[in-house]
A = this chain, B = another copy of it.
Amino acid sequence: MNEKFFSLPQEKQQAILNGGYRVFSQNSYRKSPVSEIAAEAGISKSLLFHYFRNKKELYLYLWEHCAEITIQTLRQYGCYEKSDLFETMCSGLKAKVQIMRQYPYLGAFVLKAYYEQDPEIAPAIQASYQKHVDFKTNAALLKLDPSRFREGLDLQMMCREMYWASVGYLWENIQGRELDLDQMEQNFTELIEFWKEIYLRKEE
């Protein structure tokens, strides 16, 4: 790819990336027109092809950029340091919202890319998996102390349940357009508080 891309003003770069994330997240790789991405970014198709040799290069750069942004943001929010389950979820959420603020379709793009089957790119995507950080694996790694939770609670099921609710919540908010991120963060914080209320052992 053309290094000149990086000397573009930040907002222009971001517009291009967001165009890519939007289009590639809503269509399969093959049915995602480069022209649509260019239009979304407010530049001509030719210029986009000036920065990226071809469609594949653009796509793979987006993928790479995803990983960078994600890791960087998670680190920035201290997600790798926390030991408490709910604290981890809370900062994980804040990191996710922060990413969505800058790149609203990045999350959807990752998912689409993950399941993409086009032989032109699937192998390359498959070859770079180790970067996935999600609630499921996270929760499994956090050796939980049963004495902190309600008696007889099935901790494994609790983790899966919270994971699914997070997926469902995020998914619904991504689909629904017009996402109010502040509202979303607020809602999710309430949800975590709710979980603490019902899952943690009551001191009395």
Q: Say which size band chain A's interface belongs to.
A: 20 to 34
Contact at B161–A194, with CB atoms within 8 Å? yes
| Minimal beta-carbon separation of A31 from chain B (angstroms) | 5
* Stretch binding the partner chain, chosen from A95-103, A122-130, A140-148, A165-173: A165-173
A148-187 with Cβ < 8 A to chain B: 150, 152-154, 157-158, 160-161, 163-169, 171-172, 175, 177
Indicate if A47 sits at the interface (CB-CB under 8 A). Answer: no
Question: Please, how many angstroms separate the alpha-carbon atoms of A169 and B169 in the complex?
Answer: 11
Contact at A154–B194, with CB atoms within 8 Å? yes
Question: Please, how many angstroms separate the alpha-carbon atoms of A191 and B154 in the complex?
Answer: 11
Known: A111-B175, A115-B175. A26 touches B26 (CB 8 A): no
Interchain CB contact (< 8 A) of A164 among B152, B158, B172: B172
Indicate if A138 sits at the interface (CB-CB under 8 A). Answer: no
Instruction: Give me the interface of A with B, judged by CB distance under 8 Å.
Output: 26-28, 31, 111, 115, 150, 152-154, 157-158, 160-161, 163-169, 171-172, 175, 177, 190-191, 194, 197-199
